[in-house]
Amino acid sequence: MTSILTYTFKSLPSTSKWALRFSLRPLSCSSQLWAAPAVQTKSKKTLAKPNIRNIVVVDGVRIPFLLSGTSYKDLMPHDLARAALSGLLHRTNVPKEVVDYIIFGTVVQEVKTSNVAREAALGAGFSDKTPAHTVTMACISANQAMTTGVGLIASGQCDVIVAGGVELMSDVPIRHSRKMRKMMLDLNKAKTLGQRLSLISKFRLNFLSPELPAVAEFSTNETMGHSADRLAAAFAVSRLEQDEGLLSDVVPFKVPGKDTVTKDNGIRPSSLEQMAKLKPAFIKPYGTVTAANSSFLTDGASAMLIMAEEKALAMGYKPKAYLRDFVYVSQDPKDQLLLGPTYATPKVLEKAGLTMNDIDVFEFHEAFSGQILANFKAMDSDWFAQNYMGRKTKVGSLPLEKFNNWGGSLSLGHPFGATGCRLVMAAANRLRKEGGQYSLVAACAAGGQGHAMIVEAYPK
Amino acid sequence: MVASRAIGSLSRFSGLRILRSRGYICRNFTGSSALLTRTHVNYGVKGDVAVIRINSPNSKVNTLNKELQSEFIEVMNEIWASDQIRSAVLISSKPGCFVAGADINMLAACKTPQEAAQVSQEGQKMFEKLEKSTKPIVAAISGSCLGGGLELAISCQYRIAIKDRKTVLGVPEVLLGILPGAGGTQRLPKMVGVPAAFDMMLTGRSIRADRAKKMGLVDQLVEPLGPGLKPPEERTIEYLEEVAVSFAKGLADKKISSKRNKGLMEKLTSYAMTIPFVRQQIYKKVEEQVQKQTKGLYPAPLKIIDVVKTGIEQGNDAGYLAESQKFGELAMTKESKALMGLYHGQVLCKKNKFGAPQKEVKQLAILGAGLMGAGIAQVSVDKGLNTILKDATLAGLGRGQQQVFKGLNDKVKKKALTSFERDSIFSNLTGQLDYQNFEKADMVIEAVFEDLSLKHKVLKEVEAVIPDHCVFASNTSALPINEIAAVSKRPEKVIGMHYFSPVDKMQLLEIITTQKTSKDTTASAVAVGLKQGKVIVVVKDGPGFYTTRCLAPMMSEVIRILQEGVGPKKLDSLTTSFGFPVGAATLADEVGVDVAKHVAEDLGKAFGERFGGGSLELLQQMVAKGFLGRKSGKGFYIYQEGSKDKNLNSDMDSILAGLKLPARPEVSSDEDIQYRLVTRFVNEAVMCLQEGILATPAEGDIGAVFGLGFPPCLGGPFRFVDLYGAQKVVDRLRKYEAAYGKQFTPCQLLIDHANSPGKKRTPRGRQEVVGPRVKVGRRKESELWPAGRLPHPALHP
C-alpha cells in the first residue's frame, strides 16, 4: 500500500480512468436499471442469529477523497478526521454524549497525533468523557475499526460506536536518520559541555540523510506495485486487460483558507491509447503495472455511526444496513500479498451460510487493476483452489454487473486508513438503491492480509 | 587502481576453494539419439521468433555433450536458413537449470592433449557461429548457468536471467583443474572487464543474477512469480520466455540495443586497460597472487592468466588457439584428474545410500551450546529444522545462542539473507536449560565435553525423556561410539556424528556406526547431515574412526620432526608447500594442544607402536604450561586478538630443547620430511580401508580432503596412491621404516596393491563401490554444491 507512495507523483499528471471493463458506466446511468435484479431465492432470508444483538449502520459519511498534494495538503490527519466526524454529527444528529466509544483506522501515522481518533474526537466537539483509540491494519484499518466496534457492541460493552478512518498522504513523517536521532537523544542526556562537545565531534554529514517511510513490505522488502506486477504476470493478466479495466455519502469540507471541497478529484478520464503509452512503474522495462492502472495516493477521511439495533430504533433512527459476519485472513506476504479477497470471500460466505449467488452487491477494494483481475482469475481457478486454498473446487466467478458499480479505489482514490468505511457505505447505499439483500465487502492489505464482510440490507 | 581491484577480487581465491564446482556434470548418457530425432534440443516458432528449448533427456540438468551439440547446430542451421524467423530465444525446459556445464565424460574419454584440445575447438567453433549470428539470439536463463552453459550464454547477443537464488552464473572449470575451453577466456574479459573476468575464472565463484546484471554479464532480470493458475516454477519459465520473446523481437526490430551503458568506473577501467603498461601490471600482480596462494601446485590458474593475456595482446585467433591448447594440456594433468575425482567423490557423498529413514527428523535437540553444539544448531535451523539447544548454564547457553545469531547475521551483512529471514530462521531455535519438549525430539545430538563419564551421564538422562524412535547421536572426535553406547538401553539407536569446526564452514560430516547401530538409525543420521548441507562419509566404529585416526600418526611425526630441530615455521612452510591448506604446527594450535594430547594418548594406547615416533611428552609439557594453542593465546605461536601476524612462542624453545632428538640425515631433506608426514597419513588411511573402517576409497579421499585438509591437488590419500604410484609409496615407507621402525611399515593392502600393477584404483574395501563414474542424472542439482568452503581443517576442541 505504501508502495504507491513513490509513484503517485508520476501518476498525478496522467489522468486516466479504469475504463472499459468495469467502469464504462456513466454516472448518469439511472439506478433503476440496476434496481430490479431477477428475483432470486436466497439461501437465507436474514443473517440474524438468535441471542446475538443485531448491529446496524445508522449512517456514514466521508469527506471528498482528493489526490494528495491538492487541497488538503496543508492540513494534518486529525483535521480530516475531524471533518468526517463533524459531518457525521451533522448528518445523523446523534447526541455527542450518547457515543460510547470512537475508533479510527490509519496507516501512516503522524507522530504528533499517534492516537488520531482521540485528537479528532476532541476537536470535533465530542465529549471528553468518550474514549477513543486508533487501529492500524494497512488498507483494512477502517474495516478493523468497524469490526472492533462490532465486537464491543456484540459483547454488550457498548451500544453506540463511531468508527472511521483517515489518511493524509500529502504529508508523511520523514525522520532524521537513526544515527542522528541517537546523537540528539544522547545530547539531551549529556550533562557537561565536555560531554556535549565529544558527542558533537562524532557528527558526520551522512547523519543528515533523512529516513523516508518504508515503501516496501517489511518482511519481503518488495514494494506493493512490484508484487502486483508479479501477481498479474503469475495469473497471466495482460497489460491491455489491466488498462481496460461513481456518490451519496460525501459531505462537503470547508478547508481553512481554501474553497469548500465538495467532490472527489481523482477520477482520471483517459483513453486506452493514452494509457498504453505509459511506462511500467515498478518492473521496468517490461512490467504491466502503470500509473494508470494503479490506485493513486489519496487524502481523505470517513466515519460511520454503528449501533445496536434496539438502541438505534429506540433513538428513532432508520438504520441503513446490518453488519453481519466478517473474517480476516492472511497468507504469504511475498507471492500472495494481494490475494486477500480470494481467501476471504469463500470463508465469509461459508461462515454466513451463503453462496456467491446470494450476493447482490460486490464492493471490493482495488489496489491495482492487475491485482483485482488476478483475484478474479484465482477465484475462478480450480487449480488454485485445490493447490493453495485447500478447497475441492474453485470459489467461482464474480458477476461483473454487480461489481463496484459506483466506482472503486482505482477511480475514487484510496486513502489507506479510510477506504474500509467507504466500501461498507457504498455497499449499504447500493443495496438501498439497486435493491437486494446481501452485499459482500472484501479488501486486501499489506502484510499479505485480507478481510471480507457481509452487509445485509435493512428492511425498508 | 585497476590493478589493486584485480588483486582485491582475487584475494579470496585460494586452493581450498578448488572443490566447489558444478560446472562439469558427469552423465553417462548412452542412449543413441540417432533413432529419435532431437531428444536434446527442439524449437518452436512464435511469430517471427524461434524459441529453442534445451532439454537433456532423463536428467534434472542440461549438460553440453556431443548429441546436444550436434542437435543444436542442426536447429540453428534451420533457424538461420528460415525466412520467417528473424530472431531466437534460447531457453531450458528444466526449472532450476539453464545448462549446468559440459559433459565431463567427453574429457574422460580423451587420451591425449590433442584429443582434449579437439573437444575445446568444437565448442569454440559452435559458439563463434552464435556470436556472429545475424539474427539476434536471446539467452533466457533460469537456474544454473555454469561452465559451458555460461560460455553458451555469453555467445548470444542478449541475456535475460531470473532473479532468484537458483539462478547462478559462473565458470567453475578452475576447480576441476581446467579452464573455460569454449571461448570463455576470450569473451568474458571483453564482457565484464579483465579484473572481473580473472576473478570469475580464477576462483570459479558462482554469481547471482542481480550481481551479474550489475557486472554486465546479463542484460535484464525477470522476477520470479508466485502461484497463479499454474505452479510457480512452470509459470515463471513461461513468463521468462514471454519476456525474452518480446526482447528478441525488439532486438530484431532494432528497437532495443544490446549495447549496455557503462558506468563511470567501468569506463575508467576499460580506458585503463587500453594502456599496455597497466595491463602488464595487472597480469603481473594476478600471477604473483596466484603463485602465492597455489604455491605453484595448481597449473590451471596460471594457464588461465596466460590464455587471457594471449587473447588480449595477440588477438582473437591466437587467444582461441591458446585456449584450446592449454585446455588440452590441463585436461591431462594429474591435478585435474585429482580434482575431478574429488568432484565425483563429493557427488557420491551427497547421497543417502541407506535409503529414506522411516521417520523424518523434524525436531532436533542438541546438548551443549559450545562451539560445536551451536555450530550444529546454526546449520540446522537455517535449513528449517526445529532445534532445541540445551546447555547446563545460562551463560553457556547465551554464548551459544549468540554464536548462532552472529552466524546468521553475518549472512545478512553479506546480503545472503534478509534481516527478516534471519529472524524467521532464528525462531527455529529454542534455548533451554532443562529437558522440556525432549519427548518430541526425533534426534538428539550431544556435543558436550569429550569425557566418557559425562557422555554416559547425559545419555542416561536423555534416554529417560526421549521417545522410542529418537536417535541419539554423539559428536565426538575420538571416543569410541560403542563405549558411549555401552550404557544405552537401545544401542541400535546410538550413532556417532563427527562434525568439524567451524561447523558452518566445514563441509564434512563423519558418521560412525557401531555393530549394533541399525540401518534406519544410519539412514536418519545421513538424512539429517545431508539436510544440513554436509558431505558425508559413513565409517565403522574404532579408535579415532577414520579422520582422527589418519591425522594422529601424522601429528606424531610432526612432533618427531619438531624434536629433531625443525622449527614450527619451517615445518608449516614445508606442509603448506606440499598443498596442505594449514601448516602442521599451526594445525596443532588450531585443534588445541590438549585435544591433540588427549587423542594421541588414547590412540597411542589402542594402536601402540604404529602411532609412535614423536614423544607425547612434548604435548604433555605444553599442556602443563598452558600452551593450548589459539584458544589459550599461546601454543607453538603467540596469538593476539585482532592481530593476524603470529610470532613464535619463545617459551617453547626450552621444551623443545629438553626433548631434542638427533635428526637422521638420510631422511631429513625437505622432501623427505614432507613425505614422512604424508606417507604416514596415507598408510593409515589405507589401513582403515583394509580393516573395513572405510567402506570405499572415494569416501576416504573425501574425508581426508574435506575434513583434514589433505592437499586437494593430490585428490586424497587413495587418489594420491594411484597418481603417485603405489610402489613408490611403499618404497618411501620402507626407506623410512629402515630409519625409524614400525610406524612406517606399509600396510598389507598397500603392499598388495603395489604388487598388482595394472589395477587402476586402490582395491575396494568391504562394500561395493559405486565407482568414480557415477551416474548423477537424477539428482537435485542444488543439493550438490552448497555454498560452503573449506577453511581451516581442524578437529573440534
B247–chain A Cβ distance below 8 A for any pair? yes
Which of A178, A217, A219 is most worth mutating to test chain B (most B CB atoms within 10 A of its CB)? Answer: A219
B239–chain A Cβ distance below 8 A for any pair? yes
What confidence category does residue B782 fall into, taking pLDDT thresholds of 50, 70 and 90?
very low
CB contact under 8 A, A377 and B229: yes
Q: Say whether both A381 and A412 belong to one domain.
A: yes
Q: How far is B146 from chain A, CA to nearest CA, in Å?
A: 26
What confidence category does residue B773 fall into, taking pLDDT thresholds of 50, 70 and 90?
very low
> Does residue A79 lie in a domain region?
yes
| Predicted local confidence at residue B285, as pLDDT | 94
Domain end among A160, A192, A211: A211
Q: Say whether both A368 and A443 belong to one domain.
A: yes
Task: Give the H or E element holding residue B53.
Answer: strand B49-54
| Predicted local confidence at residue A330, as pLDDT | 96
Q: Say whether both A164 and A187 belong to one domain.
A: no
Q: Say whether both A63 and A201 belong to one domain.
A: no
A17–chain B Cβ distance below 8 A for any pair? no
Q: What's the CA gap between A189 and B749, in Å, rounded?
A: 77
Q: What's the CA gap between B474 and B495, in Å, rounded?
A: 6
In this structure, are residues A303 and A163 in contact, taking their beta carbons and an 8 Å threshold? Answer: yes
| Predicted local confidence at residue A364, as pLDDT | 96
pLDDT tens profile B645-666:
788 998 898 999 999 999 999 9
B420–chain A Cβ distance below 8 A for any pair? yes
Residue B418: closest C-alpha in chain A: A220
Instruction: Identify which of B122, B141, B126 has the alpha carbon closest to the alpha carbon of residue B54.
Output: B141
Does residue A19 have a pLDDT over 50? no
Q: Which residues pair with B390 in a beta bridge?
A: B367, B432
A377–chain B Cβ distance below 8 A for any pair? yes
Residue A342: closest C-alpha in chain B: B228
Using alpha carbons, list the distances in angstroms from residue A73 to A68, A167, A260, A413, A414.
Answer: 7, 12, 14, 15, 16
Size of chain B, expressed as the number of residues it contains: 797
Q: How far is A24 from chain B, CA to nearest CA, in Å?
A: 28
Q: Are strands A160-167 and A101-105 parallel, antiparallel or unpaired?
A: parallel
Q: Is A444 a catalytic residue?
A: yes
> Does residue A80 lie in a domain region?
yes
Using alpha carbons, list the distances in angstroms from residue B581 to A312, B256, B303, B349, B707.
Answer: 83, 49, 22, 22, 11
Does residue B424 have a pLDDT over 80? yes
Q: Which residues pair with B511 in a beta bridge?
A: B497, B538
Q: Say whether both A264 and A369 belong to one domain.
A: yes
Read off the C-alpha cell for B636: 607453538
Which percentage of chain A shows pLDDT scores above 70?
90
Does residue B263 have a pLDDT over 90? no
Residue in A283, A334, A381 closest to B226 by CB: A334
CB contact under 8 A, B229 and A218: no
Give chain A's radius of gyration (CA, Å): 23
Same-fold call for B41-332 versus B547-755: no
The ipTM assigned to this model is: 0.85
Domain end among A158, A190, A211: A211
CB contact under 8 A, B229 and A236: yes
Instruction: Identify which of B253, B251, B309 has the alpha carbon closest to the alpha carbon of residue B282.
Output: B309
Query: What's the structural domain count of chain A?
Result: 2
In this structure, are residues B540 and B566 in contact, taking their beta carbons and an 8 Å threshold? Answer: no
| Predicted local confidence at residue B373, as pLDDT | 96
- Rounded mean pLDDT of chain A? 88
Chain B CB contacts of A282 below 8 Å: none
Query: Beta-carbon neighbour count of residue B393 at 10 Å?
Result: 10
Instruction: Identify which of B387, B351, B361, B390 has the alpha carbon closest to the alpha carbon of residue B528.
Output: B361
A390–chain B Cβ distance below 8 A for any pair? no
Per-residue exposure over B20-57, b if at least 16 CB sit within 10 Å of its own CB, e if not: bbbbbbbbebeeebeeeeebbbebeeeebbbbbbbbbe
| Predicted local confidence at residue A23, as pLDDT | 38
Chain A CB contacts of B225 below 8 Å: 230-231, 233-234, 335
So where are chain B's domains? 41-332, 363-542, 547-755
Residue B421: closest C-alpha in chain A: A219
Q: Which residue has the higher pLDDT, B766 or B356?
A: B356
pLDDT tens profile B302-323:
999 999 999 999 999 999 999 9
Q: What's the CA gap between A149 and B310, in Å, rounded?
A: 78
| Predicted local confidence at residue B16, as pLDDT | 39
Chain B CB contacts of A384 below 8 Å: 227-229
- One-character DSSP codes across B420-484: HHHHHHHTTEEEESS-TTGGG-SEEEE---S-HHHHHHHHHHHHTTS-TT-EEEE--SSS-HHHH
Read off the C-alpha cell for B787: 555454498
Q: Say whether both A289 and A202 belong to one domain.
A: no
Chain B CB contacts of A230 below 8 Å: 223-226
Chain A CB contacts of B246 below 8 Å: 286
Torsion on CA atoms B741, B746, B748, B753, rounded to nearest 10: -160
Using alpha carbons, list the distances in angstroms from residue A248 to A252, A264, A428, B610, B638.
Answer: 11, 12, 11, 97, 83
Q: Is A29 a catalytic residue?
A: no
CB contact under 8 A, B420 and A220: yes
CB contact under 8 A, B228 and A387: no
Chain A CB contacts of B235 below 8 Å: 233-234, 236
Mean pLDDT value across residues B76-83: 95
Q: What's the CA gap between B307 and B295, in Å, rounded?
A: 20
CB contact under 8 A, A220 and B223: no
- The residues of B annotated with a catalytic role in the active site are 510
Comparing B21-25, B68-72, B136-140, the range with the smallest average pLDDT is: B21-25
Strand arrangement, sheet containing B494-499: B429-432, B386-390, B363-367, B443-446, B471-474, B494-499, B508-513, B535-540
Chain A CB contacts of B420 below 8 Å: 218-221
A380–chain B Cβ distance below 8 A for any pair? no
CATH top class, domain B547-755 = mainly alpha
Instruction: Identify which of B223, B147, B210 has the alpha carbon closest to the alpha carbon of residue B416.
Output: B210
Q: Say whether both A161 and A185 belong to one domain.
A: no
Does residue A14 have a pLDDT over 50? no
What amino acid occupies position A313?
Answer: L
| Predicted local confidence at residue B14, as pLDDT | 38
Q: What's the CA gap between B29 and B27, in Å, rounded?
A: 5
Mean pLDDT value across residues A140-153: 97
Chain B CB contacts of A370 below 8 Å: none
Q: Say whether both A167 and A185 belong to one domain.
A: no
CB contact under 8 A, A286 and B220: yes
> Does residue A288 lie in a domain region?
yes
Chain B CB contacts of A218 below 8 Å: 420
Instruction: Identify which of B336, B351, B200 has the alpha carbon closest to the alpha carbon of residue B712.
Output: B336
Residue B233: closest C-alpha in chain A: A234
CB contact under 8 A, A230 and B225: yes
Which CATH number is B363-542 given? 3.40.50.720
SS3 category, B391: coil
CB contact under 8 A, B226 and A219: no
Q: What's the CA gap between B709 and B579, in Å, rounded?
A: 9
| Predicted local confidence at residue B11, as pLDDT | 37
Q: How large is the greatest C-alpha to C-alpha distance in chain A, in angstroms?
A: 83
| Predicted local confidence at residue A245, as pLDDT | 59
Chain B CB contacts of A233 below 8 Å: 225, 228, 235, 239
Torsion on CA atoms A292, A297, A302, A306, rounded to nearest 10: 80
Residue with cell 594440456: B329
Q: Say whether both A160 and A268 belong to one domain.
A: yes
Q: What's the CA gap between A227 and A206, in Å, rounded?
A: 31
> Does residue A383 lie in a domain region?
yes
In this structure, are residues B216 and B260 in contact, taking their beta carbons and an 8 Å threshold? Answer: yes
- Check residue B103 and report its DSSP letter: B
> Does residue A161 lie in a domain region?
yes
Q: Which domain holds residue A184?
A: 180-211
Count contacts between A and B (CB, < 8 Å).
59
How far apart, in Å, do the first and last CA atoms of chain B sit?
Answer: 43
pLDDT tens profile B177-223:
999 999 999 999 999 999 999 999 999 999 999 999 999 999 999 99
B158–chain A Cβ distance below 8 A for any pair? no
Task: Give the H or E element holding residue B648.
Answer: strand B647-648
Q: How far is A228 from chain B, CA to nearest CA, in Å?
A: 10
B232–chain A Cβ distance below 8 A for any pair? yes
Bond preceding residue A269 cis, omega within 30 of 0: no
CB contact under 8 A, B226 and A220: no
Bond preceding residue A285 cis, omega within 30 of 0: yes
Q: What's the CA gap between B55 and B99, in Å, rounded?
A: 9
A residues 173-212 closer than 8 Å to B (CB)? none
Instruction: Identify which of B658, B472, B635 has the alpha carbon closest to the alpha carbon of residue B565.
Output: B658
Q: How far is B226 from chain A, CA to nearest CA, in Å?
A: 4
Residue A234: closest C-alpha in chain B: B228
What confidence category does residue A248 fall into, taking pLDDT thresholds of 50, 70 and 90?
low
Q: Say whether both A293 and A244 belong to one domain.
A: yes
pLDDT tens profile B450-499:
889 999 999 999 999 999 999 999 999 888 999 999 999 999 999 999 99
Which CATH number is B41-332 given? 3.90.226.10
Q: What's the CA gap between B237 and B681, in Å, rounded?
A: 50
